[in-house]
Structure formats: structure tokens, C-alpha cells
Amino acid sequence: MKNLTEMQQEVDVYINQFKSGYFTPMENMVRLTEEVGELAREINHVYGPKQKKLSEREKEIGMELADNLFVLICLANSMDIDLTDYFNRTMDKFKTRDKNRFERREQ
């Protein structure tokens, strides 16, 4: 199983084999928005009221999530952002600021 650092490195190796390299942060943000829309559509088909058209092929929600992760990693890499560091900082924030926000399960 890969950690975030390994994923960022793998994406970096993949992207840097191409002359064009990373898209700009703005282009990646647009790509991410497009991918989020595709994920939303699939979730709506599976968990919501929207039925697929007969001409639409089945997509896996997991693949749509992974597509989003790939673009998110591209966005982070293009701006030299260490996702592991920021993920850890975010979890610390949730564990402190929001520690009493939700009712906990009984242990």
C-alpha cells in the first residue's frame, strides 16, 4: 500500500515524462472540478434518484474517486505542496478544534 508521499512521487515521475509537464494550477483546478462533477453524477446514479440513460456505461465510484485523487495530487505537485504534511495538519485541526463537535459512539 502506498502512502501519500509515494503517490506524489509516482505521479511526479509519470507527469515529468512528458515535455508539457504539469498543467498550471488553474488548469488543474478546472480538471478537478470536472472530475468532481463526474463523481457527483455517479453517486447520484447509485445513491440518488437519477437513473442512468440506457446509452450510459457503468462507472465505478472508486475509479471516479481515484481520478479526483490523481488530479488533486497533480495540483499539489505543481505547487510543491507536501500533502502528507497538510493532511496531518488537517487531522490535528479536526482532533482539536472539532473534538467535541459530534456525538461519539460509546466505547
> What's the distance, CA 77 to chain centroid?
13
**CATH number reported for the structural domain that contains residue 58 in this entry:** 1.10.287.1080
pLDDT (tens digit, 9 = 90+) per residue, 29-83? 999 999 999 999 999 988 988 777 767 777 799 999 999 999 999 999 999 999 9
Q: Does residue 102 form part of some domain? A: no
pLDDT (tens digit, 9 = 90+) per residue, 14-26? 999 999 999 999 9
Q: Is 42 exposed, middle or buried (0-12, 13-18, 19+ CB in 10 A)?
A: buried
Number of separate domains in the chain = 1
pLDDT of residue 100: 83
Q: Does residue 91 form part of some domain? A: yes
pLDDT of residue 49: 83
The conformational region for residue 80 under phi > 0 = left, psi -120 to 50 = alpha, else beta, is: left
Q: How far apart are CA 34 and CA 13, in angstroms?
A: 24
Does the pLDDT value for residue 102 go beyond 90? no
Q: How far apart are CA 45 and CA 16, in angstroms?
A: 36
Q: Does residue 43 form part of some domain? A: yes
- Residue range of the domain that includes 51: 4-97
Are 23 and 78 spatial neighbours (Cβ–Cβ below 8 Å)?
A: yes
Q: Does residue 49 form part of some domain? A: yes
